Amino acid sequence: MSPRFKRRLSRLLLIIKPVLFLLFAVCFLLFAVGVTSPLRKFINENALSPRTFFDLLAGNPGFLKNTQGRTNILLLGIAGKGHEGADLTDSMIFISLNFEKKDVIAISVPRDVWLESLKDKINTAYHYGEEKSPRSGGFILSRAAVEEILGQPVHYAVLVDFAGFEKLVDMIGGVRVNVDQAFDDYKYPITGKEDDLCDGDPEFKCRFEHIHFDAGWQDMNGEKALRFVRSRNAEDEEGGDFARSRRQQKVILALKDKILDPKFLLDFKKDKELVKILDEATDTDLKLPEILFLARLTLRTKDKDIKTLSIEDKLINPPLWDYDGKWVLIPKTGDFSEIQKFVKEEIR
């Protein structure tokens, strides 16, 4: 290479270097705006920090909301789009977790409990809350309603719709549930028939179908499991909200056992499908670190550590004419103090 050519190349590089640097800076800025900005938003929304990761690894629940060491979550189930009363909560389960004792307490709150503060049944709380403030009001009002009944704070809420529930059960290959006693329900609602006039039939029989369950262990796919947890018109002890609440708890435990089976957990394709279905079918005010910590606790929780409580013996049906013809439940004592005292003694 001649000295003359070297001099020309040096002058050219003096000109090109700033241009290359400028191009690099522009590309880096575009990358920062396009990638790190959403990343920063994700980190901020989920309250992620080095301390959070340390707490997760160390098993320290300090970043979780809690009251005297207990974190309380409200699990809500709705029919979802395409169903009558799409955003009425057909199931409401209060779940209390103690991380030191590693125990879980579950209480089903019947959907027909009457609340004077709402001037309606508790299953309408989510609906009214969403009407007032979409995307957050439903959780806020539902939590407040359950707190009024149980006398316990509700720190978080999780919402699941029936379509997502059915997909979830099918995706994991079904669940195995022990049915306490056989029952028939001749008024199980048929989706899409809610407003059918049934050719003038005064009993609207075309809106319903007959479903039957045998006693004993049953293998259930998504459709069958959904019918099992939704049925509330059986002609014996399995009719009504109390029996349905017990069935819902059975299926939740069956789901937990199936998902936490090592064969399932080690199937990464299934894990990916599970995350997708849960993302589509659920809504929650839990942030990512909180979800991860609760998932970790669930992995370590055995069925013997889960205690289910019932408040059904503390509720009664008042005359229909006192509540505009609605079938409701009210506390035997006239207020919720007895229920709150019972729950307080059990949750320590």
Q: What is the pLDDT of residue 26?
A: 44
Q: What is the pLDDT of residue 100?
A: 79
Using pLDDT thresholds of 50, 70 and 90, give the confidence band for residue 261: confident
Exposure string for 42-67, b = 16+ CB within 10 A, e = fewer: eeeebebeeebeebbeeeebebbebe
Mean pLDDT of 204-227: 93
The CATH superfamily of 61-346 is LCP protein (3.40.630.190)
pLDDT digits (tens, 9 = 90+) for 29-39: 444 444 444 43
Q: What is the pLDDT of residue 40?
A: 47
CA distance 11 to 277: 61
Q: Which 8-state DSSP code applies to residue 301? A: -
pTM over 0.85: no
Using pLDDT thresholds of 50, 70 and 90, give the confidence band for residue 51: low
The pair of structure tokens assigned to 128 is 């009214």
pLDDT digits (tens, 9 = 90+) for 83-139: 666 789 988 999 999 877 778 899 999 999 999 999 999 999 999 999 999 888 999
Tell me the CB-side half-sphere exposure of residue 257, using CA atoms within 13 A: 14
Using pLDDT thresholds of 50, 70 and 90, give the confidence band for residue 76: very high
Using pLDDT thresholds of 50, 70 and 90, give the confidence band for residue 299: low
pLDDT at residue 162 greater than cutoff 90:
no
Low-confidence winner among 44-48, 49-53, 279-283 (lowest mean pLDDT): 44-48
Tell me which of 75 and 53 has the higher pLDDT.
75
**Is residue 126 within 8 Å of residue 142, measured between CB atoms?**
yes
Every domain of the chain and the residues it spans: 3-45, 61-346
CA distance 143 to 127: 13
pLDDT at residue 278 greater than cutoff 50:
yes
Q: What is the pLDDT of residue 28?
A: 42
pLDDT at residue 262 greater than cutoff 60:
yes
Tell me which of 207 and 150 has the higher pLDDT.
150
The closest of 284, 260, 288, 287 to 274, measured between CA atoms, is 260
Q: Average pLDDT over the chain, rounded to whole?
A: 81
Intra-chain end-to-end CA distance of the chain, in Å = 86
The closest of 272, 277, 298 to 161, measured between CA atoms, is 277
CA distance 324 to 340: 27
Q: What is the pLDDT of residue 30?
A: 43
